[in-house]
Structure 1
Amino acid sequence: MFFIVSKLAWLVLQPLVVMAGLLALGLVLGFFGLRRLAAGVTLLVLVLLLVVSVSPLGLLMTAALENRFPRPELPARITGIVVLGGALDTRVARTRGEVELNEAADRMTAATALALRFPDAKLLFSGGVAGLIEEDVPEVDSAEQFFLSQGIARDRLVLEGRARNTYENAVYARALADPKPGEIWVMITSAQHMPRSVGCFRKAGFDVVPYPVDYRTPAGNLVWRPSTSSMRNLDKVNDSMREYIGLAVYWLRGRTDALFPAPSALAPSVTGSPAGSSALASVASPAVPSL
């Protein structure tokens, strides 16, 4: 039920849908003769549209999420890599019969790069059917094809195809990985999605090393400079708003360990420092190295 409600709720909470609803309200108010109130609502919509489409609001909202977990340096050996679904276009896979990556493709390419760098590590992919309205195919099917095409041996793959959201990613991934004390599992997902993902994995009892990829904002002062494309600015507001709403709802539902999860001072060491010290206390800057 939570999955269905969350999907339906987001259909009406998206910024453009909210603005369209307000505009419709203005028209109704005008029809009933409440012209001043209708003009006020219409002006509000125009201001909101201007702010989200030409200002750096989306960049700032996204950067706050992306910078929450800097990318750590990894040790010489790791146990496994967990990559969360969301980077595969399953509608293309279903209708054209071939693998297609979407704008979050860095999740898959970064996972491949780490799998090649750490040839003894398992590669666990978690992603099922996230569609609500139409029948779809699990992401895990395309993921298997993709990783095999990149030269990853089949016996290294651990494939999980039931998860429909981030919380289920964490629960089902932990069950498959069955992590033991001292093991190091690296989790890959989009940088803006990392706070919610870490919160869910902590709640599920799966202590992972966050490895954010798929950055959508520049570092430094450039974050104050919006794109010349109004749709790109709007997209960032839309995507980051979804994450903030998701963080709040997951926290209220007890699915994450904090409202806005942050690097823990008790994180396991990933560079050989004594146990109990922070693995993320002395990481590199959040700039993204080439893969």
Structure 2
Amino acid sequence: MFALFIALGVLWRSARWRVAGGAAALFWLLAAGWLSGALLDLAQPPIYRTPYDRGRAALPALPFSAHTAIVMLGGGTDYVDGKLVPKDDVYARIALASRLYAQCAQAGGACRVIVSGGNPQHHERAEADTYAPWLLAAGVPRDALVLENESLTTWQNARNVAALVHRRHDEALVLVTSAYHMPRAMLDFHRFEMAPLPAVSNVRHVKRGLLPRWRNLVAAETALHELIGIAQFYVYRMIGWF
């Protein structure tokens, strides 16, 4: 977007001050939260704006079946003090997936946690492999943990998970991811004939005001990424690519 405004200023020199003013206004609306909040509301429809856990001591009851797969989608990795760790939003996904596993096991069913995430950032390990120790530390047994570490996109998450779960036709699915990611994830999972129960791990928020905030720009970028991904899904379906 910034590059687009620079290009407009170069090509439309007679109006470059108006272009600069428009760019400044747009980025202020994003950074101050007014426009980024609207984008985030589009990316996070009301049905997904309440985290499944909500910080309660006990989770709401789920209709676990004799076989249940809790599918946790990746959300990136980052280096902190030289160590590869999950990105911030992923910690909430790990916490919810592990608590759902404990609830499922207590209900007496055969439960497993499928972690889906490859290495789109080209770090030293795939997302699924990086998250595994955190899930083990949170109480998920190693024999109940399935690592799908090849997928690079949400569409590939759904495709690769489908290959794992369609072998067990009686398996109930619970899909764990963040609110902003859930609409696109549900589209892709439905595309592969899966109907998971959505379990929202966390919701993004912006702070509206006069002062610009970096986190509001990050939220706007996240929202735009998801909205473009949803539009891409429908375009690809229309032309037969999905």
Check the 8 A contact 2:29/2:36 in 1, yes or no: no
Check the 8 A contact 1:69/1:194 in 2, yes or no: no
Q: One-letter code of the match for 1:166?
A: T
> Of 151, 156, 166, which aligns to 1:163?
151
Deviation track 1:230-285 (CA, whole Å, cap 9, x = no partner) reads: 21222221110111111111221129xxxxxxxxxxxxxxxxxxxxxxxxxxxxxx
Task: Report the counterpart of residue 110 of structure 1 in structure 2.
Answer: 96
Deviation for aligned residue 1:24: 4.9
CA distance in structure 2 between the partners assigned to 1:200 and 1:76 by the alignment: 22
CA 1:40–1:103 in structure 2 vs 1: closer, same or farther (change >3 Å)?
same
Matches within 5 A, 1:172-251: 172-178=160-166, 180-217=168-205, 226=208, 230-251=213-234
Task: Report the counterpart of residue 86 of structure 1 in structure 2.
Answer: 75
Number of residue pairs matched by the alignment? 223
Q: Which runs of 5+ in 1 are unaligned?
A: 1-17, 218-222, 256-291
Check the 8 A contact 2:36/2:217 in 1, yes or no: yes
Matches within 5 A, 1:81-160: 81-86=70-75, 88-89=77-78, 91=79, 95-96=82-83, 99-119=85-105, 120-131=110-121, 134=122, 136-160=124-148
CA distance in structure 2 between the partners assigned to 1:66 and 1:25 by the alignment: 32
Deviation for aligned residue 1:151: 2.3
Check the 8 A contact 2:158/2:188 in 1, yes or no: yes
Check the 8 A contact 2:75/2:89 in 1, yes or no: no
SS at match of 1:121: strand
- Percent of counterpart pairs with the same letter? 27
Task: Report the counterpart of residue 43 of structure 2 in structure 1.
Answer: 65
Q: One-letter code of the match for 2:159?
A: V
Check the 8 A contact 2:116/2:161 in 1, yes or no: yes
Task: Report the counterpart of residue 77 of structure 1 in structure 2.
Answer: 64
The alignment's C-alpha RMSD in Å is 2.7
Task: Report the counterpart of residue 284 of structure 1 in structure 2.
Answer: none
SS at match of 1:192: coil
Deviation track 1:198-247 (CA, whole Å, cap 9, x = no partner) reads: 00000011121111121013xxxxx7x61655212222211101111111
CA 1:185–1:57 in structure 2 vs 1: closer, same or farther (change >3 Å)?
same
Check the 8 A contact 2:178/2:203 in 1, yes or no: yes
Q: One-letter code of the match for 2:222?
A: D
Task: Report the counterpart of residue 32 of structure 2 in structure 1.
Answer: 54
TM superposition score normalised by structure 2: 0.81
Task: Report the counterpart of residue 39 of structure 1 in structure 2.
Answer: 17
Q: One-letter code of the match for 1:165?
A: T
Q: Which runs of 5+ in 2 are unaligned?
A: 53-59
CA distance in structure 1 between the partners assigned to 2:133 and 2:195 by the alignment: 28
More strand by share: 2
Deviation track 1:17-53 (CA, whole Å, cap 9, x = no partner) reads: x124313542x357xxx33x21221121111112111
CA distance in structure 2 between the partners assigned to 1:186 and 1:235 by the alignment: 28
Deviation for aligned residue 1:182: 4.9
Deviation for aligned residue 1:66: 2.2
Check the 8 A contact 2:77/2:85 in 1, yes or no: yes
Q: One-letter code of the match for 1:183?
A: E
TM superposition score normalised by structure 1: 0.68
RCO (CA 8 Å, sep 6+): is it higher in 1 or 2? Answer: 2
CA 1:101–1:116 in structure 2 vs 1: closer, same or farther (change >3 Å)?
farther
